[in-house]
Amino acid sequence: MSIRLLYIIDSLRIGGAETLLLDLLDAAQKRGDQVKVAYFTPGPLEAEVARRGVEAVRLSQHGLRDPRALLRALRLTRDWDPHIVHTHLIKSDLVGQLAARLLSRRRVITLHNTDPWRKKRVLSGIYRTLTSGADACLAVTENVADHVAHYGGYDRDQIEVVQNGVDLDRFAAGQAQPMDLTQFGVPENAVVLAKIGRVTAQKDHENFLQAISLLRDRNLNLHVLIVGDGELSGVVQERARSLGLGDDQLTFTGNLRDMPALLAAIDIFVLASKWEGLPMALLEAMASEVPVVSTAVGGIPDLINDGVNGMLVAPSDPSALAGALEHMIADADARRLLGEVGRGTVESRFSGAAMMDRLWSIYNAPTAGSELIGDGCGSK
């Protein structure tokens, strides 16, 4: 039987949760289910949602400061009558879960990050109160589940781990024509490092730029791409200039949508975040056999075994990050081997098809008698 799914998400900007949303829409349509999207902040992915023939409804232009966001969510949920409301990220969790709760709809919530704000007791209490009782409470990694239970007052036994997964065919090495990077001023023989993701405090571009500045005077044949956009874009560009990183060494590309082509063209993927859950961009890089250097935060140490299928460094340590990058730049054989083993890790543990099968088994669970259905999600 076809089910109606309402996905509520904070934005349609480019990011990990938003990329996952597109995969969910594709999976739902493939299964013959009906989907709608509600969101707060517009972005480039509006066109991607529309291309799939999915209606997207904006809840507010002013985030949680607009009380009409809840009224719009209530109206949409009442009128369209979804079988399941599935929310992603904080604003959508608060508004979407409350609307679905008031209208007695089945509720699913996905916890994406080890967010620092959960350590603030008042904020965690408000969040727990408004989201408690969801029929299924999902976390993208064990680490995220533990973090939310410890700091957020959740019952750990009520949080189910459903790890992110990636389309193994779409991101297989050799499948995509490599992107022409000369358009970004990249010399043809340079080793290309790419930092891909939103330009926000979480992603710690300061740490990354300081590491690159340490490499600048070591006569390495490299070029750096910062791919993405965000509220700190101007600040990060100014910081790069203040560190003496010119266009001949570093290029800000803005958002790029053809990730398989970009990953096919680069040599090293870099993640320098302060906190994470399980980044989709990291999984995509590993699936593409691109060697990765990442900070050891969130669920990443469960994914990467340092020196085996990638390299791990401590967060906020530019010297350690620079050292790992220098090693990777100098050793093409190590890059190839780490990339191959990384692909194997994703194949064995992070298949997108397996993730969707697990999620739909939760969607299709009976409304009573299932271990995933109850009143405990969000309460101890």
Predicted confidence at residue 37, as pLDDT, reads 98
* % of the chain surpassing 70 pLDDT: 97
The CATH label, of 3.90.1150.10, 3.40.50.2000, 3.40.50.800, 1.10.10.1100, for the domain at 4-165+352-363 is 3.40.50.2000
> From CA 196, how far away is CA 67, in angstroms rounded?
34
What mean pLDDT comes out for the span 258-279? Answer: 97
Helix (H, G, I), strand (E, B) or coil at 139: strand
Question: What is the torsional sign of CA 91, 143, 162, 341?
Answer: positive
Predicted confidence at residue 380, as pLDDT, reads 65
Predicted confidence at residue 263, as pLDDT, reads 98
The CATH label, of 3.90.380.10, 3.40.50.2000, 3.30.920.30, 3.90.105.10, for the domain at 181-349 is 3.40.50.2000
Q: Are 149 and 155 in contact (CB under 8 A)?
A: yes
Helix, strand, coil percentages, rounded to 5, for the chain: 45, 20, 35
What letter does residue 205 receive in the DSSP assignment? H
Q: Are 49 and 25 in contact (CB under 8 A)?
A: yes
Domain assignments of the chain as residue spans, ordered by start: 4-165+352-363, 181-349
What mean pLDDT comes out for the span 194-198? Answer: 96
Instruction: Categorize the per-residue pLDDT at 370 as very low, low, confident or very high, splitting at 50, 70 and 90.
Output: very low
pLDDT per residue as tens digits for the range 214-256: 998 888 999 999 999 999 999 999 999 999 999 999 999 999 9
pLDDT per residue as tens digits for the range 141-155: 999 999 999 998 889
> From CA 149, how far away is CA 378, in angstroms rounded?
8
Instruction: Categorize the per-residue pLDDT at 365 as very low, low, confident or very high, splitting at 50, 70 and 90.
Output: confident
Predicted confidence at residue 160, as pLDDT, reads 95
What mean pLDDT comes out for the span 110-138? Answer: 93
pTM score, whole prediction: 0.91
pLDDT per residue as tens digits for the range 31-86: 999 999 999 999 999 999 999 999 999 999 887 888 899 999 999 999 999 999 99
What mean pLDDT comes out for the span 17-24? Answer: 96
What mean pLDDT comes out for the span 190-195? Answer: 97
Instruction: Categorize the per-residue pLDDT at 292 as very low, low, confident or very high, splitting at 50, 70 and 90.
Output: very high
Q: Give the list of residues 6+ apart from residue 254 with CB closer than 8 angstroms, or none.
A: 227, 228, 229
Predicted confidence at residue 377, as pLDDT, reads 72
> From CA 168, how far away is CA 114, in angstroms rounded?
26
Cβ count within 10 A of residue 252: 17
Predicted confidence at residue 371, as pLDDT, reads 42
pLDDT at 367 over 70: no
pLDDT averaged over every residue in the chain? 94
- Measured CA distances, 297 to 129, 208, 272, 283, 320 (Å): 28, 15, 9, 15, 14
pLDDT at 369 over 60: no
pLDDT at 356 over 90: yes
Predicted confidence at residue 379, as pLDDT, reads 64
176 is written with which tokens?
Answer: 């995509």
